[in-house]
Amino acid sequence: MSDKLKQFKQTLDDHHQWPCPYVYKFIVPAESLDRFQQLFASEELETRQSRTGKYTSVTITSTMCSADEVMAVYEKAAQVPGVMSL
């Protein structure tokens, strides 16, 4: 695990008491939205399309039990071409 990931994990552990609700926000290019929705089919996705229709903002609120679970969701989202994590 890189130093950056270790630091992120430590920050998550320092600021959250597990289990707790965790809010994810992603910006997904329109052409990748179907792929993103397939990957997260079991989650309730809150979406909002950009004015131009080129991007969709996606919010996922889920109860997480550890920093490792949180990081796994970000890794899963990174499989989608062009996705941006906020």
- Mean pLDDT on 31-38: 96
Q: Residue 62: in which H helix or E strand, if any?
A: strand 55-64
Residue 60 CA to its chain's centroid (Å): 7
Structural domain boundaries in the chain: 3-85
- Mean pLDDT on 21-50: 96
pTM of the model: 0.91
Q: Are 77 and 26 in contact (CB under 8 A)?
A: yes
Residue 64 CA to residue 74 CA, distance in Å, equals 13
| CATH superfamily placement of domain 3-85 | ACT domain (3.30.70.260)
pLDDT higher than threshold 90 for residue 1 = no
